[in-house]
Amino acid sequence: MTDLGRGGVGVSFTHETLPQRVVFASYEAAGHVADEVARLSATRPMVIATAANRALADPLVAALPAAVRHDEVVMHVPTDVAERARMVAEKHDVDVVVSIGGGSTTGLAKAVALTTGLPIVAVPTTYAGSEATNVWGLTEGGRKTTGVDARVLPRSVVYDASLLLSLPVPLSVASGLNALAHCVDSMWAPRVDPIDQALAVEGIRALSQGLPEVVREPQGIAGREQTLYGAYLAAVAFASAGSGLHHRICHVLGGMYNLPHAQTHAVVLPYVLALNVPSVPASGQRMAAAFGAASALEGLQRLRERVAAPRALRDYGLRETDIPAAVDAVLAAVPPNNPTPVTRENLEDLLRRAWDGGEPV
């Protein structure tokens, strides 16, 4: 794989930017959501938000035309859950889907859009980043299937950092590190180009500055805004660059063993970075500079210590006996241009270290 870290003479690439409107303003979500729905000439919205997010969603719903509420949201979007949401949309002749929540909520809205073509207005309440991608995912029988489709890209995203003030610090950390994984994976993903890398590097800088502020002052808006900004850049880079080894691993683990999405990404990230970065030293130098560290791995590990990051997959339900089957499933999904060749031996070592929280090497 070519290391695009330095750019320069001989660089040649094709970059496609996804068409999407983004509104970023704290404490203004209700008005902006109503405006974005009106821009689509929609009058029959379906609002997807969990019962736990009802307090956040109510002021936004109050500003909309009469809306259908739907709160059955399940992690990894099981196909039967998606089908019930589609039936609700059809029954009420919905003309726009408004998702208010994290990655699972956005994922369910995407599942509805995938088969109906309905536009989505997304209002993120975590740093998941799904709202800025055209990637969908559905789970059935312990297998998570993902794909790319223009119909699932939200037409508009309303970012309001004040909606994240109630997100608990541990979940904020896991979600922010999930966003950081989008950045890191985008440095060497299958369709990476210099634009993706520029977005990813700036995303790393913003996230590495914002997340410690969130931990230090959970009710401070500045840290939340910086982290949310970084998460958006991460998602845009990821949408263009594609799914690299890190995400292939985490999708397998999530689908097969129902592990929590953000925490799984947060745990696995340093091990994939340690595996790949020696093969792309220029990219590693750019990431190190974004972290403000001597090396990318040192910067990541220092950040993880500062924010008390999730450490081991065994803490989230993965059993040691699950690892061999996971290795088989990941090997079948490894991107062909991963910087470091992936073997059964180094992949099993990676997963065992991630399972027990050992040092990434």
pLDDT digits (tens, 9 = 90+) for 168-184: 999 999 999 999 999 99
The per-residue pLDDT for 5 is 52
Q: Which amino acid is it at 202?
A: E
State whether 31 and 140 are in the same domain: yes
Is 60 exceeded by the pLDDT of residue 1? no
- Phi and psi at 323, nearest 5°, equal -65, -45
CA distance 186 to 231: 13
State whether 154 and 266 are in the same domain: no
Q: Are strands 143-148 and 135-140 parallel, antiparallel or unpaired?
A: antiparallel
Domain boundary among 110, 134, 164: 164
Q: Domain count of the chain?
A: 2
Residue 158 corresponds to which tokens in the numbers above? 């309303």
Q: Which residues contact 94 (CB under 8 A, 6 or more apart)?
A: 44, 45, 46, 68, 88, 118
CA distance 273 to 72: 35
State whether 83 and 216 are in the same domain: no
State whether 249 and 283 are in the same domain: yes
* Residues 195-206: b if buried by 16+ CB within 10 A, e if exposed: bbbebbbbbbbb
State whether 251 and 329 are in the same domain: yes
- Phi and psi at 220, nearest 5°, equal -85, 130
The per-residue pLDDT for 336 is 87
Task: Tell me if 260 is assigned to some domain.
Answer: yes
State whether 150 and 178 are in the same domain: no
Exposed, middle or buried: residue 65 (CB in 10 Å: 0-12, 13-18, 19+)? middle
State whether 291 and 329 are in the same domain: yes
pLDDT digits (tens, 9 = 90+) for 190-238: 999 999 999 999 999 999 999 999 999 999 999 999 999 999 999 999 9
Q: At what angle do helices 281-291 and 194-216 cross, to 10 degrees?
A: 30
Domain boundary among 112, 144, 164: 164
Average pLDDT, integer, range 103-128: 95
Domain boundary among 104, 134, 164: 164
The per-residue pLDDT for 14 is 87
Q: Which residue has the higher pLDDT, 356 or 3?
A: 356
Q: Which residues span the domain enclosing 94?
A: 21-164
Task: Tell me if 330 is assigned to some domain.
Answer: yes
The per-residue pLDDT for 6 is 46
CA distance 92 to 94: 5
pLDDT digits (tens, 9 = 90+) for 248-268: 999 899 889 989 989 999 999
CATH number at residue 288: 1.20.1090.10
Q: What is the mean pLDDT of the chain?
A: 93
State whether 191 and 317 are in the same domain: yes
Locate tokens 């094709």: which residue? 14
Average pLDDT, integer, range 137-163: 91
CA distance 315 to 312: 6
CA distance 116 to 29: 26
Sign, CA dihedral 120-125-130-136, equals negative
CA distance 221 to 141: 41
CATH number at residue 110: 3.40.50.1970
Q: Are 40 and 120 in contact (CB under 8 A)?
A: no
Q: Are 176 and 214 in contact (CB under 8 A)?
A: yes
State whether 211 and 288 are in the same domain: yes
The per-residue pLDDT for 263 is 95
The predicted model scores a pTM of: 0.90
What value, to the nearest 5°, has the Cα angle with vertex 162 and ends 287 and 119? 85
Band the pLDDT of 4: cuts 50, 70, 90.
low
State whether 328 and 290 are in the same domain: yes
Average pLDDT, integer, range 304-320: 96
The per-residue pLDDT for 3 is 65
Q: Are 296 and 287 in contact (CB under 8 A)?
A: yes
Is 80 exceeded by the pLDDT of residue 150? yes
DSSP-H helix ranges across the chain? 29-39, 54-62, 79-91, 103-116, 169-186, 194-216, 221-241, 245-257, 261-276, 281-291, 296-307, 323-331, 344-356
The per-residue pLDDT for 307 is 97
State whether 348 and 235 are in the same domain: yes
Task: Tell me if 44 is assigned to some domain.
Answer: yes
State whether 39 and 158 are in the same domain: yes
Is 60 exceeded by the pLDDT of residue 9? no
Task: Tell me if 11 is assigned to some domain.
Answer: no
The distance of Cα 124 from the centroid of its chain, to the nearest Å, equals 11
pLDDT digits (tens, 9 = 90+) for 22-78: 999 999 999 999 999 999 999 999 999 999 999 999 999 999 988 899 999 998 899
Q: Are 353 and 280 in contact (CB under 8 A)?
A: no
The per-residue pLDDT for 145 is 85
